């Protein structure tokens, strides 16, 4: 017994972070040989996309995979980008030192954050093949490219360097490259095809990075090319300061201890987002601290009180201090139209619906959920739907079951939206794919491999809401399709049967065959709308045609409404029917009375879009008689539109307020245009319209 | 454009490991408030169990949780153990420095490995409450205990110390404590009950640590006590050297670079397990390297060649060099009997089956799978079975869906073993709980939180095999139960109906009622076995009684066999029927002819067991007529027993060989006793035995 404690203690020693990750390389995504290759590609491509985005360059990324010795599973990977490049002296740290990077402390959306990824690749290559990783990089301000072989001294977490030098970097066409980085790595890995493959990772990357051009040469020499579908770079993101709601006590203690601010007032105004001058006053009073207190004097319980004021546990005049939401310019969502485009480009389908929720905040961190759903086409109907998960524009390929985003999908009862689902839980079945993207300043993964999101109530709720909303879109689509099919069937029946009956009756009674057109109208007893949305190659515009038939025996008056991509900056042209804006992205036309048997067309073109941007126009109506093929514009729909408008206005207001105009600014919500109701036409329901088909359909 | 690369690079800096984990505290299991508390308890208890095990102390661990301020979710946690204690100057490193520990490089089974756990708790407490963690520790060789308040300087990954001192540590009864450690922490956390709770974690811990006494005082002051059910400490584990099959190139390069060995021969013999003198020669020849080469001269391709020889890619005389398996004394399985005891103690059920597979090796790391299944009792029948996952004796409470062990359970078609399962995949339903334990020198988790095992083909295969084997046990049990129930029903029917028929017939024919005993025997036409296995309080032995009835009209001869816990060191006493060993854990009795209507008893007692150790004896038979209530001893059953025996012999041989007797030792497998077949009694099947109950059952 004696001395056992000392003996045990004497074996203890410090482990370097790089030794830790070398032993636990599966934490970083290097578990199987197949996954290791995907991880390596992912880290290199993510870095390239991040660097291009920060430098505002449209990325062109080339990936080449070669089998060096198929028997031994040794693979060579080359990833080249046209990013800004890395200055020579930074190369070794970026590639050969774990936890070294620029994005760890920055609060904004980025793919990489931890400074582990690419160094992990260098480490894995060294561990499995004993080889260093060759890096070549050129920055615009220098005439030549720097190159060097990088390894990792895992005992010290330092890079090892060899064969460093400079050279002119020639492109394939003989010109010299302006800027970019190229990584050449050798690793033990397996190339495979299928659902979890490099190809699939790149395909998914291209969906959520429509501004990127990606070229992939596979081990058989085949070239895969995902072209750029938009020249628009993602919105530039700005780093924001931490928001008081996301601060923990230890962090606040450290911020205060390390502060150089003159006093508490300055500290609050300088170091946080969402703290206006008014909020500063309220916080100080709630915490019972003088704003003029020197930072050094703020200790212990002072800090605790301040934190409680931050969290609304200490009140100012019975209320929590009124903080602004953090600004959301730290986020860069993909946006509906680009998701739609990306999906349409890569998956063949009939119906696409997408949705970008407005930003929300969890623990002081802004985040935003985007979803997309595609349905029909060539997808298999008897299998679970394909789930495409993304975080900060990076595809998540593994650990689907353990991911918050999957759980959000599984929590929805998809049966009510037209998909099969055993027991109303779990991944639904059907010819569909569901895309879900989380953009956040602080994506919480379950591990360093960044393949699954950890649980978070607020993110879950947002994702669920987005699914429900999207589900309603799918249901509408399926119902519309069904209704249209039914109406068509009815038409055909009437046109076949009625003349036959008429002829037979006439024959029996020895009378002439009667005129049927009026009767058919009476029997149909419906107003029908059809619309087409077509890309016009010549004009480079989207042509929309909405047609309305009145198959009833009375005159009808409607307001017809249609959705259009106003948010994406499209403009409406050749709209001869005129009309007016109903709400953001919704146009309205008031139609004069439509006589029995009459038809009317509404046509217009949309400028400023690209092919695939807008493929389906939702038609709505206001009026008491149903329109088959259109959706009744109800208060719910309107409220949702208004809510979204209001939220966007709020954000604008918040940002304006954050820009210091605080005390004056009163956010006056714009009166939504839709409030000015167009009086409904009074239409008496026609009598005696019951038909042999069982009513008004 | 110009200067963007430099600008981006200038923001880059090194992040400390503690900053990394502070930001990513959810990697360590601190995501929700409820889970954070479980994580903290887990880390403290794991440390206590590991320290006690290393110091060969029977652990007594007290956990107390108090709500300091229920409104603010502030909780005080105290964990006290009777471990060896920590020397004063080591305390700050153990509790205040990440990646500091003794087990990182050691190849042996232990709960903690990374040196993160308890420091993570200190970090979390500091972050959420701003408080330090109070540690008190006493080692046996010093008269007083050391105490100190520990915090963490996350920018430097160093401990901060305050209020250090020494004191006499008094137990509750006023005596002074000999040795142990006590941790008092304050954290933001939530105490909750249910499936994922501190209580459940401790209950599961007690199942797989039957040698531990655990006392838990919950926030309501209620005391929960899991008593020690065995005085036997887990097998002492020894650190082993790495096995050549588990070495990667980078690691080998480093070992060679850092080697102080005289030459390659010494290097191979000194640094690896499984390398005998013969293996050393073969490796050198396969790698085409002279054994006398100085270590400094071995570089580049030499190392690559040596690794290829390690991996059997370079051959010696057309064969891979013959390496021994790594020794398995680095593992400490719980063992079947203790699992059974642990399960019986904590879950009320009717049937328990357990299984410890023999050790196997993956990538040079020894591992061993153990499983247990309990069925019946008060468990709900219409819900998914409870899954109890463990790794190195630590319960895994989260991420069940993403864990290899769960996947192994889901991959089995449980329908064939009597459980409900939709589509033959997924978690089965039924009144059962399945326990699965992986013991390994290198448990690969999916993240630092150590809640789910990462994918590994070999571990998966072992776990699956164990499930299948255990499933067969369950099926047998259910079939036996069903058969016995049927037989009982038949008996009752015959005893009710036959006399009634006889009486009625006699009455009608005006004859006397006939004697029925012989007829009943004829109709039953079966040999029936029943057994009881009972704990005898007075003798402290398990009494087994096997009874055999011959309800047929002919004499019958059988060999009756029974399983018994020979492996666990039990001895058989008062076995008056004699018999002989059939195989390890199987005893056989050859019975003389059993006359029609005759019964025979086999009785014996088992010494050296504790209550709950052995609750069910499996009875088998050899003979041509079926015995209801016993299992036919077939070749398959025998082969499995022999295979297990052989594997154990191999291990013994391997270990002997590893002890250097290499060139001489020829492992002569013992001739299994069961080979010397007892001649089967020739029994002609009786004629005319078809009865109104449809034959021989």
DSSP B416-484: GGT-B-GGG-SS-BSSEEEEEEEEESS--BSSTT--SBPP-HHHHHHHHHHHHHHHHHHHHHHHHHHHH
Largest pairwise CA distance in chain A: 122
For testing the chain A interface, which of B5, B21, B47, B49 should be mutated: the one with the most A CBs within 10 Å? B5
Is A133's Cβ below 8 Å from some Cβ in B? Answer: no
Which CATH number is A521-697's, of 3.40.50.970, 2.60.40.1170, 1.20.950.20, 2.60.40.1120? 2.60.40.1170
Q: Please indicate whether, in this complex, the C-beta atoms of A448 and B447 are within 8 angstroms of each other.
A: yes
Q: In chain A, pLDDT over 90 holds for what percent of residues?
A: 42
Cβ-contact A310, A284 below 8 angstroms: no
Q: Please indicate whether, in this complex, the C-beta atoms of A455 and B93 are within 8 angstroms of each other.
A: no
Q: Quote the ipTM score.
A: 0.74
Q: Please indicate whether, in this complex, the C-beta atoms of A130 and B22 are within 8 angstroms of each other.
A: no
Residue with tokens 């970019």: A180
User: Is CATH 3.30.300.30 correct for B244-310?
Assistant: no
The pLDDT score that the predictor gives to residue B60 is 97
For testing the chain B interface, which of A8, A102, A177, A421 should be mutated: the one with the most B CBs within 10 Å? A8
CA–CA separation, A414 vs A464, rounded Å?
12
Q: What phi, psi does A641 have (nearest 5°)?
A: -60, -45
Which tens digits make up the pLDDT trace of A526-568? 788 888 888 888 998 999 999 888 888 788 888 999 989 888 7
Indicate if A244-310 has the same CATH topology as A17-226: no
The pLDDT score that the predictor gives to residue A646 is 65
Is A32's Cβ below 8 Å from some Cβ in B? Answer: yes
Query: B549-566: string of b/e by CB count within 10 Å (b at 16+)?
Result: bbbbbbebbbbbbbbbbb
User: Is CATH 2.60.40.1260 correct for A17-226?
Assistant: no
Which tens digits make up the pLDDT trace of A432-484? 999 999 999 989 998 888 999 998 888 999 999 999 999 988 888 888 788 77
Residues of B in contact with A127 (CB under 8 A): 248-251
Hey, what's the torsion of the CAs at A149, A154, A157, A159, to 10 degrees? -10
For testing the chain A interface, which of B2, B6, B7, B8 should be mutated: the one with the most A CBs within 10 Å? B8
Q: Which of B1, B94, B402 faces A401 most closely, judged by CB atoms?
A: B402
Say which residue, A298 or B485, is predicted with more confidence.
A298
Check pLDDT > 90 for residue A506.
no
What CATH number does the domain located at B348-476 have?
A: 3.30.230.10
Task: Give the residue among A466, A97, A54, A138 at the shortest CA–CA distance from B16.
Answer: A97
Residue of chain B minimizing CA distance to A50: B8
Number of neighbours of residue A325 by Cβ within 10 angstroms: 20
Pairing of strands B526-536, B627-628: parallel
Is A136's Cβ below 8 Å from some Cβ in B? Answer: no
Using CB atoms and an 8 Å cut-off, which of residues 406-435 of chain B contact chain A? 422
pLDDT band at A1 (very low <50, low <70, confident <90, very high): very low
Kindly calculate the radius of gyration of chain B based on its CA atoms and give it in whole angstroms. 31
Q: Which of A94, A105, A447 faces B27 most closely, judged by CB atoms?
A: A447
Q: How far is B598 from chain A (nearest CA, A)?
A: 56
Domain boundaries, chain B: 17-226, 244-310, 348-476, 524-675
Residue of chain B minimizing CA distance to A11: B102
Check pLDDT > 50 for residue A673.
no
**Kindly report the CA angle at A251 between A247 and A252, in degrees rounded to 5?**
75
Residues of A in contact with B251 (CB under 8 A): 22, 127
Q: Please indicate whether, in this complex, the C-beta atoms of B99 and A9 are within 8 angstroms of each other.
A: no
Is A9's Cβ below 8 Å from some Cβ in B? Answer: yes
The residues, any chain, with a CB within 8 Å of residue B219's CB and separated by 6 or more, are: B65, B66, B67, B75, B191
CA–CA separation, A217 vs B451, rounded Å?
38
Q: Find the DSSP H helices in A444-514.
A: 457-509
The pLDDT score that the predictor gives to residue B690 is 30
The CATH fold assigned to B524-675 is Immunoglobulin-like (2.60.40)
Is B23's Cβ below 8 Å from some Cβ in A? Answer: yes
- The secondary element (H helix, E strand) that includes residue B55 is none
How is residue B316 written in tokens? 């010696």
Q: Please indicate whether, in this complex, the C-beta atoms of B72 and A115 are within 8 angstroms of each other.
A: no
The pLDDT score that the predictor gives to residue B35 is 93
Average pLDDT over residues A143-169: 93
* pTM of structure: 0.76
For testing the chain B interface, which of A250, A389, A441, A449 should be mutated: the one with the most B CBs within 10 Å? A250
- Residue A491 CB burial class (10 angstroms; 0-12, 13-18, ≥19): middle
How is residue B16 written in tokens? 């400390």
How is residue B64 written in tokens? 């107390």
DSSP, collapsed to helix, strand or coil, labels residue B80 as strand
> Beta partners for A287?
none
Q: Please indicate whether, in this complex, the C-beta atoms of A12 and B93 are within 8 angstroms of each other.
A: yes
Residues of B in contact with A104 (CB under 8 A): 15, 19-20, 23
Classify domain A346-476 at the CATH class level. Answer: alpha beta
Q: What is the mean pLDDT of each run of 10 residues along chain B (697 residues)?
A: 73 82 89 93 94 94 92 92 93 88 79 84 93 95 95 89 94 93 96 91 91 95 91 88 90 91 95 94 94 92 93 90 89 84 70 86 88 84 88 91 91 90 83 92 90 90 93 85 78 74 80 74 77 86 90 86 86 90 89 85 90 80 82 77 63 46 34 37 35 31
Residues of A in contact with B441 (CB under 8 A): none
Which tens digits make up the pLDDT trace of A338-381? 888 777 766 666 678 888 888 888 887 899 999 999 888 778 87
Residues of A in contact with B24 (CB under 8 A): 114, 444, 448
Q: Please indicate whether, in this complex, the C-beta atoms of A84 and B8 are within 8 angstroms of each other.
A: yes
Using CB atoms and an 8 Å cut-off, which of residues 166-195 of chain B contact chain A? 179
Residues of B in contact with A101 (CB under 8 A): 12-13, 15
Cβ-contact B366, B273 below 8 angstroms: no
Q: How far is B7 from chain A (nearest CA, A)?
A: 10
Residues of B in contact with A141 (CB under 8 A): 2-3, 5-6
CA–CA separation, B413 vs B420, rounded Å?
9
Q: Please report, for chain B, how many H helices and E strands are present, in that order.
A: 15, 26
How is residue B323 written in tokens? 């390496």
CA–CA separation, B155 vs A298, rounded Å?
21
Q: Please indicate whether, in this complex, the C-beta atoms of A32 and B455 are within 8 angstroms of each other.
A: yes
Using CB atoms and an 8 Å cut-off, which of residues 345-404 of chain A contact chain B? 399, 401-402
Residues of B in contact with A5 (CB under 8 A): 55, 84-87, 139-141, 179
CA–CA separation, A335 vs A510, rounded Å?
68
**Kindly report the CA angle at A686 between A684 and A691, in degrees rounded to 5?**
155
The pLDDT score that the predictor gives to residue A691 is 29
- DSSP letter for B638, please: H
Q: Please indicate whether, in this complex, the C-beta atoms of B5 and A87 are within 8 angstroms of each other.
A: yes
The pLDDT score that the predictor gives to residue B256 is 94
Which tens digits make up the pLDDT trace of A394-434? 999 988 888 999 999 999 999 999 888 877 778 898 889 99
């Amino acid at each position: 017994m004696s001395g056992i404690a000392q003996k045990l203690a004497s074996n203890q020693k410090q482990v370097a972070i790089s030794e830790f990750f070398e032993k636990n390389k599966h934490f970083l995504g290097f578990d199987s040989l197949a996954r290791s290759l995907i991880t390596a590609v992912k880290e290199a491509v993510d870095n390239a996309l991040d660097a291009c985005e920060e430098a505002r360059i449209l990325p062109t990324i080339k990936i080449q995979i070669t089998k060096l010795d198929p028997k031994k599973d040794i693979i060579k990977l080359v990833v080249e980008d046209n990013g800004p490049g890395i200055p020579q002296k930074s190369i070794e740290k970026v590639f050969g030192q774990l936890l070294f990077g620029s994005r760890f402390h920055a609060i904004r959306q980025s793919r990489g954050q931890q400074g582990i990824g690419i160094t992990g690749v260098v480490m894995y290559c060294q561990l499995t093949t004993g080889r260093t990783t060759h890096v070549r990089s050129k920055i615009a301000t220098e005439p030549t490219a720097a190159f060097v072989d990088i390894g990792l001294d895992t005992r010290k977490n330092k890079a090892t360097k060899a064969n460093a030098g400079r050279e002119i970097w020639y492109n394939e066409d003989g010109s010299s490259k302006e800027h970019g980085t190229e990584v050449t790595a050798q690793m033990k890995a397996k190339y495979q095809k299928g659902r979890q493959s490099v190809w699939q990772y790149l395909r998914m990357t291209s969906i959520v990075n429509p501004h990127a051009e990606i070229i992939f040469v596979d081990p058989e020499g085949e070239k895969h090319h995902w072209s750029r579908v938009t020249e628009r770079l993602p919105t530039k993101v700005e780093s924001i300061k931490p928001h008081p709601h996301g601060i923990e006590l230890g962090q606040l203690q450290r911020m205060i201890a390390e502060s150089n601010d003159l006093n508490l007032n300055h500290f609050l105004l300088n170091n946080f987002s969402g703290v206006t001058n008014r909020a500063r006053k309220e916080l100080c009073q709630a915490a019972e601290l003088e704003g003029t207190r020197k930072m050094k004097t703020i200790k212990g319980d002072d800090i605790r009180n301040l934190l409680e004021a931050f969290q609304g546990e200490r009140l100012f005049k019975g209320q929590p201090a009124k903080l602004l939401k953090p600004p959301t310019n730290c986020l860069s969502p993909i946006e509906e139209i680009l998701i739609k485009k990306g999906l349409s480009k890569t998956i063949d389908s009939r119906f696409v619906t997408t949705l970008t929720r407005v930003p929300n905040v969890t623990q002081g961190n802004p985040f935003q959920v985007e979803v997309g759903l595609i349905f029909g086409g060539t997808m298999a109907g008897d299998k679970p739907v394909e789930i495409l998960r993304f975080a900060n524009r990076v595809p998540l390929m593994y650990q689907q079951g353990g991911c918050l985003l999957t759980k959000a999908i599984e929590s929805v009862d998809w049966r009510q939206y037209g998909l099969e689902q055993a027991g109303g839980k779990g991944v639904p079945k059907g010819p569909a794919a569901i895309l879900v993207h989380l953009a956040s300043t602080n994506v919480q993964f379950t591990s360093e491999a960044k393949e699954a999101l950890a649980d978070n109530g607020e993110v879950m709720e947002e994702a669920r809401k987005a699914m429900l909303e999207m589900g309603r879109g799918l249901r509408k689509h399926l119902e519309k399709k069904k209704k249209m099919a039914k109406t068509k069937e009815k038409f055909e029946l009437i046109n076949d049967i009625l003349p036959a009956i008429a002829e037979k009756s006439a024959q029996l009674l020895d009378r002439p065959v009667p005129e049927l057109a009026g009767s058919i109208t009476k029997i149909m007893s419906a107003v029908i709308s059809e619309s087409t949305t077509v890309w016009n190659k010549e004009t480079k515009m989207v042509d929309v045609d909405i047609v309305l038939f009145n198959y009833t025996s009375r005159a009808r008056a409607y307001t017809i409404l249609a959705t259009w991509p106003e948010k994406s900056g499209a403009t409406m042209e050749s709209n001869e029917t005129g009309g007016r804006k109903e709400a953001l992205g919704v146009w309205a036309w008031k139609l004069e009375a439509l006589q029995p048997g009459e038809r009317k067309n509404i046509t217009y073109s949309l400028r400023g879009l690209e092919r695939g941007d807008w493929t389906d126009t939702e038609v709505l109506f206001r009026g008491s008689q149903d329109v088959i093929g259109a959706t009744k514009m109800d208060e719910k729909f309107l409220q949702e539109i208004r809510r979204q408008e209001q939220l966007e206005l709020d954000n604008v207001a918040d940002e304006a307020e954050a820009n210091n105009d605080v005390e004056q600014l009163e956010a006056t919500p714009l009166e939504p245009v839709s409030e000015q109701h167009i009086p409904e036409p009074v239409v008496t329901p026609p009598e005696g319209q019951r038909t042999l088909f069982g009513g008004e359909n």
